[in-house]
Amino acid sequence: MSKIPEQLAQVQNRVHAALAAAGRAEDAALLLAVSKTKSAAAVREAFGCGQTCFGENYLQEALEKQQQLQDLPIEWHFIGPIQSNKTRAIAENFDWVHSVDRARIAVRLNDQRPPSLPPLNVCVQVNIDAEPSKAGVLPEELPEVLESVAQLPRLRLRGLMAIPAPRSDHGEQQKVLLQVASLLQEWQQRYPQLDTLSMGMSGDLEAAIAAGATIVRVGTDIFGAR
């Protein structure tokens, strides 16, 4: 028997408990179920339990699942690295993109977003630990990318996304999550439309919610190990 319903309920409970502990509103954070490498049947099952937003990292895999799940009103979020030859399919098939990290990618997504769809919701991914091999813009590169997303009419600038490097010490983990939150606050002065902080995964969703996350992206603890 599938464990998805029970595991999803547990994660929902963790999200609610973390919000309550932080004195935040019950609906202040959205649970994004990360279904990469998992089957369309698993997504369908989670949808049947009330989960409506799903995150995917790999375009080809995502498109195949979307094909099989066309009958469901799922909100699809693209959260993986973006190659420029993949922007058209992303612009045509997703509601959100969390991983924009170059102005050039933003321009392509804007130009390729079909006029029949609402503007594409965009978060800019920040490489908060300045890890050389990691995706995302450095904090000092944010102004350029934020400005280009803000000016593109077929994109809707929503927020920042980060995947901090894992730390064994809880306090250290908290510190870096708070750094992302204060970056968002800083840029909200210039772009008041910034309302989204996408951070927190299976291992650190409580800490992320305490730091102000508005979208937590959880895979393993809902669908099991990959």
Ligand X SMILES: *Cc1c(COP(=O)(O)O)cnc(C)c1O
The residues of the shown chain that bind ligand X, judged by CB under 6 A, are: 34, 36, 57, 79, 163, 201-203, 217-221
Give the C-alpha distances (Å, rounded to integers) separating 169 from 46, 193, 203.
32, 33, 12
Residue among 157 and 218 whose Cβ is closer to ligand X: 218
Cα separation, 146 vs 148, in Å, equals 6
3-state SS of 40-91?
HHHHHHHHHCCCCEEEECCHHHHHHHHHHCCCCCCEEEECCCCCHHHHHHHH
**Token couple for 185:** 């606050």
Residue among 125 and 154 whose Cβ is closer to ligand X: 125
Residue among 23 and 226 whose Cβ is closer to ligand X: 226
Rounded to a whole number of angstroms, the minimum distance from the CB of residue 190 to ligand X is 26
Cα separation, 182 vs 95, in Å, equals 26
Burial class (CB in 10 A: 0-12, 13-18, 19+), 81: middle
Residue among 154 and 212 whose Cβ is closer to ligand X: 212
Rounded to a whole number of angstroms, the minimum distance from the CB of residue 9 to ligand X is 16
Nearest to 121 by CA among 62, 195, 177: 195
Which residue sits closest to ligand X, CB atoms considered?
A: 219
Rounded to a whole number of angstroms, the minimum distance from the CB of residue 125 to ligand X is 8
Rounded to a whole number of angstroms, the minimum distance from the CB of residue 48 to ligand X is 20
Residue among 143 and 166 whose Cβ is closer to ligand X: 166
Rounded to a whole number of angstroms, the minimum distance from the CB of residue 100 to ligand X is 13
